[in-house]
């Protein structure tokens, strides 16, 4: 057995689960023995959900990169750590062995140091999906700096907000990024962002697309030049900064139901143990397997299951720069064949979109290497599940439906591939250490099976968030105050007769569009920035491919030369303020919004209208202006 803690039978899972509930400290201490520590912990767990304060492996000292790199360099230096597949199939792929990745991380750690980075600094990373992104992330961890990766699809304004919130002093970026047949001018977007970010002293720029960029004296430097300086000195090692278990490892911004995105904070030891444990067990990773997680490292899935989970397990992680549908819808299958992928982990949105292209793009592709399939990010409908099972897994690959969140660090609820039973559209059972409860609106715990409610956790797991950066109170109110002594996920959930969990979707004002979280308040604020917009309300509606589509109701008192033109202008505003991923699918102009007498928008009604459920709108008599509902229905898109 490659990993002593790999659960290989249903019985082993049940036993481990039992132990993790009865004696969590003993359970996690045993697991933690499998890592490299500079000093072991004094105490496994100390916690309360009131403040909240959660500490795992208190007193331990480590550097996560020694676990992701050094220990594998000693035992398997020539095993591929990262296999990289470029956007363009005609460009050569790259392989970095553990030894090569180690050296590159160490070199870039020197570059960061040479540019003034210190332990505890916040470093913003805005890069394409190239190996240097993973290298930059790991180099931050090597020197004890806190990385804040921002997805390449976010706008200058969004980046500026994130940089300011975390007071980053360094930005690592590239000239541009390739995505399908488009290229994105990353550096130019960073230049715009930095007009309002005096904390940033250095920008390190990788060459990727070779488009012209402006390089500001003193502030900007080229990645390649900086590496050359390090190489000239012959430096291939970098002594890791020794971190405390609970030192911050990274910040990752995510949208909530109110206000601006929050910086979710993860810490070194617990996150490492959690991503590793869940990676090894959920996917049943075997040494030599090629693991292909199709997410971007700009999202938590990429952090946990491209970088930290796989590398801490000595696995081979495949990183793909492009998109599933370019040059054609066979791109994923071509990659699976070319790199003999064993584990494929993707989003339901990608599956549904590829389904739409039919079976031709799969024909002739050899998918025999596949052993395990996974999904993440949103509920998977049964139709997509069966399509994935039949056409990709050929009915011989278990599918793991992994439920988790940016805040949870790694998977909390999932079947274990080929070990515990799958059930289409169910995430199934909690992983060891995870104690889900369902509660009703009042916070009463709903016992028994065949019930549904709001999903909460009653006990900490090592990978949970510790705070929201710079605002602990926001962490408390968002996650720990709705229900006393519980972590509230924001998701609705049902538990079937056998105790399997099925996540039904968000119960707060957060949309899940193509597996990406969009806060309705944040999006409304962006739309309201457009001149002429008086007010707006955003709701989600079922969308065949994206899971949820975005429906905007907008009160506009500017002058339309043409409504479609105004729609495009509004989309442009959203693209500037948040990013293209938040553009509404539908924009309906309305003369008013359904509001209660106290001025609250009745989203329930708008949601029903957007969904096309016009029969059961519920009581509209308490509205300030009940007539407005008729008008909105009449002009529905």
Q: Is 406 an interacting residue with respect to ligand WTA (CB under 6 A)?
A: yes
Give the distance, in angstroms, between the CA of residue 468 and the centroid of all CA atoms in the same chain: 16
Of 316 and 402, CB closest to ligand WTA: 402
Q: Is 495 an interacting residue with respect to ligand WTA (CB under 6 A)?
A: no
Of 28 and 487, CB closest to ligand WTA: 487
Of these, 20, 148, 402, 415, which contacts ligand WTA (CB under 6 A)?
A: 402
Alpha-carbon Rg of the chain, whole angstroms?
A: 24
3-class SS of residue 630: helix
Per-residue contact flags (x/-) with ligand WTA for residues 473 to 492, judged by CB under 6 A: ----------------xxx-
Tokens 């949820």 identify what position? 548
- Which helix (H) or strand (E) covers residue 416, if one does? none
Residue 298 contacts residue 151 (beta carbons within 8 Å): yes
Residue span binding ligand WTA (CB under 6 A) among the ranges 18-26, 66-74, 312-320, 370-378 = 370-378
Q: Is 266 an interacting residue with respect to ligand WTA (CB under 6 A)?
A: no
Of 144 and 463, CB closest to ligand WTA: 463
Helix spans in 233-342 (H): 268-282, 300-302, 309-312, 331-339
Q: Is 405 an interacting residue with respect to ligand WTA (CB under 6 A)?
A: yes
Q: Is 135 an interacting residue with respect to ligand WTA (CB under 6 A)?
A: no
Q: Which residues contact 270 (CB under 8 A, 6 or more apart)?
A: 54, 56, 57, 245, 246, 409, 462, 463, 464
Longest CA span, the chain: 77
DSSP 92: P
Of 347 and 593, CB closest to ligand WTA: 347
Of 420 and 512, CB closest to ligand WTA: 512
3-state DSSP of 367-388: CCCCCEEEEECCCCCHHHHHHH
Give me the least distance between CB of 126 and ligand WTA, in Å please: 18
Of these, 379, 393, 398, 433, which contacts ligand WTA (CB under 6 A)?
A: 379
Q: Is 453 an interacting residue with respect to ligand WTA (CB under 6 A)?
A: no
Give me the least distance between CB of 380 and ligand WTA, in Å please: 7
DSSP 428: B
3-class SS of residue 12: helix
Give the distance, in angstroms, between the CA of residue 110 and the centroid of all CA atoms in the same chain: 28
DSSP letters spanning 189-226 = HHHHHHTT-TT--EEEEE-SS-------TTTEEEHHHH
Q: Residues of 519-555 as b/e, b for ≥16 C-beta within 10 angstroms?
A: bbbbbbebbbebeebebbbbbbbebebbbbbbbbbbb
Partners of 118 in beta bridges: none
Compute the distance between CA of residue 435 and CA of residue 47 in angstroms, rounded to an integer.
Answer: 15
Peptide bond into 327 cis (omega under 30): yes
Of these, 41, 345, 404, 461, which contacts ligand WTA (CB under 6 A)?
A: 404
Of 200 and 475, CB closest to ligand WTA: 475
Task: Identify residues 564-593 at the interface with ligand WTA (CB under 6 A).
Answer: none
Q: Which residue, among 423, 449, 425, has the nearest Cα to 436 in the 3D structure?
A: 449
Of 69 and 412, CB closest to ligand WTA: 412
Q: Which residue, among 567, 586, 588, 568, has the nearest Cα to 631 in the 3D structure?
A: 588
Q: Is 513 an interacting residue with respect to ligand WTA (CB under 6 A)?
A: no
Q: Is 401 an interacting residue with respect to ligand WTA (CB under 6 A)?
A: yes
Per-residue contact flags (x/-) with ligand WTA for residues 278 to 317, judged by CB under 6 A: ---------------------xxx----------------
Residue span binding ligand WTA (CB under 6 A) among the ranges 143-151, 196-204, 359-367, 374-382 = 374-382
What's the CA angle centered on 25, arms 22 and 31, to 5 degrees? 105
Compute the distance between CA of residue 122 and CA of residue 521 in angstroms, rounded to an integer.
Answer: 27
Give me the least distance between CB of 491 and ligand WTA, in Å please: 5
Q: Is 522 an interacting residue with respect to ligand WTA (CB under 6 A)?
A: no
Residue 47 contacts residue 466 (beta carbons within 8 Å): no
Tokens of 602: 């009745």
Q: Is 377 an interacting residue with respect to ligand WTA (CB under 6 A)?
A: yes
Per-residue contact flags (x/-) with ligand WTA for residues 202 to 241, judged by CB under 6 A: ----------------------------------------
Of these, 512, 514, 536, 566, which contacts ligand WTA (CB under 6 A)?
A: 512
Per-residue contact flags (x/-) with ligand WTA for residues 34 to 63, judged by CB under 6 A: ------------------------------
Q: Which residue, among 369, 357, 371, has the nearest Cα to 400 in the 3D structure?
A: 371
CA atoms in the 13 A half-sphere facing the CB of 524: 22
Task: Give the nearest residue (CB) to ligand WTA.
Answer: 406
DSSP letters spanning 323-366 = -TTSS-TTHHHHHHHHHT-SEEEE-HHHHHHHHTT-STTTTT--
Residue span binding ligand WTA (CB under 6 A) among the ranges 57-65, 317-325, 466-474, 498-506 = 498-506
Give me the least distance between CB of 407 and ligand WTA, in Å please: 7
With CB under 6 A as the rule, give the number of residues binding ligand WTA. 23
Compute the distance between CA of residue 489 and CA of residue 500 in angstroms, rounded to an integer.
Answer: 17
What's the CA angle centered on 492, arms 486 and 493, to 5 degrees? 95
Residue span binding ligand WTA (CB under 6 A) among the ranges 112-120, 238-246, 402-410, 467-475 = 402-410
Give me the least distance between CB of 432 and ligand WTA, in Å please: 18
Give me the least distance between CB of 145 and ligand WTA, in Å please: 23
Q: Is 376 an interacting residue with respect to ligand WTA (CB under 6 A)?
A: yes
Give me the least distance between CB of 502 and ligand WTA, in Å please: 8
Q: Where does this chain bind ligand WTA (CB under 6 A)?
A: 254, 299-301, 376-379, 401-406, 427, 489-491, 503, 505-506, 512, 517
């Amino acid at each position: 057995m490659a990993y002593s803690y790999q659960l290989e039978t249903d019985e082993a899972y049940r036993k481990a689960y039992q132990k993790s509930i009865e004696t969590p400290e003993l359970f996690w201490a045993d697991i933690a023995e499998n890592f490299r520590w500079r000093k072991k912990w004094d105490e496994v767990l100390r916690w309360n959900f009131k403040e909240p304060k959660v500490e795992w492996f208190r007193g331990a000292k480590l550097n996560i990169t020694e676990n992701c790199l050094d220990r594998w360099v000693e035992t398997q230096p020539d095993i591929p750590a990262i296999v990289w597949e470029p956007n363009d199939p005609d460009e050569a792929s790259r392989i970095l062995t553990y030894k090569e990745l180690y050296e590159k991380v160490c070199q870039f750690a020197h570059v960061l140091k040479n540019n003034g980075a210190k332990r505890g600094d916040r470093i913003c990373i805005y890069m394409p999906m190239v190996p240097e992104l993973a290298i930059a992330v790991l180099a931050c961890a090597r020197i004890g700096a806190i990385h804040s990766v921002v997805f390449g699809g976010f706008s200058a304004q969004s980046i500026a907000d994130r940089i300011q919130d975390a007071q980053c002093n360094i930005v690592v970026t590239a000239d541009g990024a390739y995505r399908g047949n488009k290229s994105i001018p990353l550096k130019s977007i960073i230049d715009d962002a930095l007009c309002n970010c005096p904390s940033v002293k250095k920008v390190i720029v990788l060459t990727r697309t070779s488009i012209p960029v402006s390089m500001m004296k003193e502030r900007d430097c080229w990645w390649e030049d900086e590496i050359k300086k390090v190489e000239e000195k012959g430096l291939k090692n970098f002594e890791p900064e020794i971190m405390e278990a609970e030192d911050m490892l990274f910040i990752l911004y995510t949208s909530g139901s109110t206000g601006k995105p929050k910086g979710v904070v993860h810490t070194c030891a617990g996150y490492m143990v959690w991503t590793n444990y869940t990676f090894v067990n959920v996917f049943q990773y075997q040494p030599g397997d090629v693991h292909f997680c199709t997410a971007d490292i700009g999202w938590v899935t990429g952090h946990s299951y491209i970088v930290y989970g796989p590398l801490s397990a000595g696995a081979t992680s495949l990183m793909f720069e492009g998109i599933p549908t370019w040059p054609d819808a066979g791109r994923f299958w071509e990659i699976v064949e070319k790199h003999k992928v064993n584990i494929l982990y993707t989003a339901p949105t990608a599956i549904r979109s590829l389904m739409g292209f039919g079976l031709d793009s799969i024909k002739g592709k050899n998918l025999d290497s596949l052993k395990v399939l996974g999904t993440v990010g949103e509920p998977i409908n049964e139709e997509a599940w069966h399509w994935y099972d039949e056409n990709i897994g050929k009915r011989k690959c278990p599918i793991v439906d992994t439920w988790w969140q940016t805040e949870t660090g790694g998977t909390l609820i999932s079947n274990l591939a080929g070990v515990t039973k799958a059930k289409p559209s169910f995430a199934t059972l909690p992983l060891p250490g995870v104690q889900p409860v369902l509660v009703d609106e009042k916070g009463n715990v709903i016992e028994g099976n065949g019930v549904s409610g709001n999903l909460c956790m009653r006990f900490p797991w090592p990978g949970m968030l510790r705070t929201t950066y710079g605002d602990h109170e926001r962490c408390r109110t968002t996650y720990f105050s709705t229900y006393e002594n519980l972590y509230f996920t924001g998701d609705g959930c049902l538990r079937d007769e056998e105790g399997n969990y099925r996540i039904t979707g968000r119960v707060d004002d957060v949309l899940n569009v193509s597996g990406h979280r969009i806060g309705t308040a944040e999006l409304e604020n962006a739309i309201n920035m457009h001149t002429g917009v008086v007010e707006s309300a955003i709701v989600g509606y079922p969308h065949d491919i994206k899971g949820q589509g975005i429906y905007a109701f907008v009160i506009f008192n500017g002058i339309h030369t043409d409504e479609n033109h105004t729609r495009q202008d509004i989309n442009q505003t959203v693209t500037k303020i948040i990013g293209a991923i938040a553009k509404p699918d539908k924009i309906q102009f309305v003369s008013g919004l359904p509001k209660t007498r106290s001025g609250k928008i009745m989203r329930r009604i708008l949601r029903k209208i957007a969904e096309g459920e016009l029969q059961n709108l519920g009581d509209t008599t308490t509205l300030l202006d009940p007539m407005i509902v008729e008008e909105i229905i009449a002009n529905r898109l």
